[in-house]
């Protein structure tokens, strides 16, 4: 049985709620209420056809792999999953560091013109987040396709599971992309909040601002970058969940 953690119960939503960016309960209810309208009538027919395929004998023509072949295919799928997961997690952690080295996605440099140019200050961080989202999609989509293809060659039951996953991906891909595209937009609220707190603290202490210290541990921009990293890592986890379910099904299939 293919499992999929609900979007509103994910670590990503909990992180957004913890940062006071949204109300998790309201967001969850809104998501649940619209979920039914996402699956159009034609999609429902397709799902029904895949679900009933095990009863019409069409899957019986596919033999199960020998134990050695199954173990090898499972190990290869698991290794590729781990490689992509590690690649994405390391990319996020490295690029969110003050000293990213050769990271291909660069953390924006602090804008020393703040607060005069405050309305444009967040834009580079939004582009940074969106660059990581593109990285995730470009890495995870082929991974999911390849794991599904390997699964389909294993047994009649896993072939059915692979077909079901392909249908679900087709149904939900555009909607999930639309939802996740809102995360870097919502993150601006946290950016604004931390900078305003920073300004208020300076006013209370009657101190002049020092942009050179914004990325020091505990400073407002360093805190923001830590929050952004937390959300990116939670999003990596969320996007990988369907493929993780496929890999786990691969491991649990009797040989």
Q: Are 215 and 50 in contact (CB under 8 A)?
A: no
Characterize 174-209 residue by residue with b for buried, 16 or more Cβ atoms within 10 angstroms of its Cβ, and e for exposed.
eebeebbeebbeebeebbeebbeebeeeeeeeeeee
CA distances to 128, 178, 190, 199 from 202, rounded to whole Å, are: 28, 38, 19, 5
With 0-12 / 13-18 / 19 or more C-beta atoms within 10 angstroms meaning exposed / middle / buried, residue 125 is: buried
Rounded to an integer, what is the distance from CA 115 to the centroid of its chain?
32
Whole-angstrom distance, CA of residue 25 vs CA of residue 225? 26
pLDDT at residue 22, as a whole number: 67
pLDDT at residue 254, as a whole number: 57
Q: Are 55 and 31 in contact (CB under 8 A)?
A: no
At 1 the three-state DSSP class reads: coil
pTM for this predicted structure: 0.81
Q: Are 26 and 34 in contact (CB under 8 A)?
A: no
pLDDT at residue 24, as a whole number: 47
Q: Report helix angle 183-205 to 220-252, nearest 10.
A: 150
pLDDT in tens, the chain (255 residues): 344 444 445 677 778 777 877 654 455 455 545 545 545 555 655 656 665 655 455 445 545 556 777 788 889 999 999 999 999 999 999 999 877 677 789 898 887 777 667 778 899 999 999 999 999 999 999 999 999 999 888 888 888 889 999 988 988 888 888 888 989 998 999 999 999 999 899 899 888 888 888 999 999 999 999 999 999 999 999 899 999 999 998 888 655
Whole-angstrom distance, CA of residue 134 vs CA of residue 142? 13
At 8 the three-state DSSP class reads: helix
Token pair for 147: 């794991």
What are residue 115's phi and psi, to 5 degrees?
-90, 5
Residue-wise DSSP of 124-153? HHHHHHHHHHHHHHHHHHHHHHHHHHHHHT
Domain-wise residue ranges, the chain? 7-252
Query: Positive or negative, the Cα torsion across 155, 161, 162, 164?
Result: positive
> Please, what is the end-to-end C-alpha distance for the chain in angstroms?
17
């Amino acid at each position: 049985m293919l499992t999929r953690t609900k979007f509103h119960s994910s670590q990503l939503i909990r992180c957004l709620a913890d940062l006071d960016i949204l109300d998790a309960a309201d967001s969850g209810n809104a998501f649940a209420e619209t979920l039914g309208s996402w699956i159009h009538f034609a999609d429902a027919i397709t799902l029904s056809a895949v679900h009933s395929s095990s009863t019409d004998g069409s899957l019986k023509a596919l033999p199960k792999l020998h134990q050695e072949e199954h173990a090898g295919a499972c190990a290869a799928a698991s290794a590729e999953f781990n490689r992509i997961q590690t690649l994405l997690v390391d990319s996020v952690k490295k690029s969110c560091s003050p000293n990213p080295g050769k990271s291909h996605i660069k953390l924006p440099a602090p804008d020393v013109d703040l607060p005069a140019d405050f309305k444009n200050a967040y834009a580079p961080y939004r582009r940074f987040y969106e660059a990581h989202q593109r990285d995730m999609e470009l890495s995870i989509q082929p991974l999911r396709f390849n794991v599904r293809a390997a699964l389909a060659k294993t047994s009649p039951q896993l072939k059915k599971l692979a077909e079901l996953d392909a249908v679900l991906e087709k149904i939900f891909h555009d909607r999930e992309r639309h939802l996740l595209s809102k995360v870097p937009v919502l993150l601006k609220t946290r950016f604004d909040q931390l900078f305003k707190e920073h300004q208020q603290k300076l006013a209370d202490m009657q101190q002049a601002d020092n942009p050179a210290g914004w990325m020091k541990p505990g400073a407002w921009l360093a805190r923001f970058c830590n929050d952004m990293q937390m959300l990116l890592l939670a999003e990596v986890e969320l996007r990988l969940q369907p493929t993780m379910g496929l890999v786990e099904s691969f491991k649990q299939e009797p040989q």
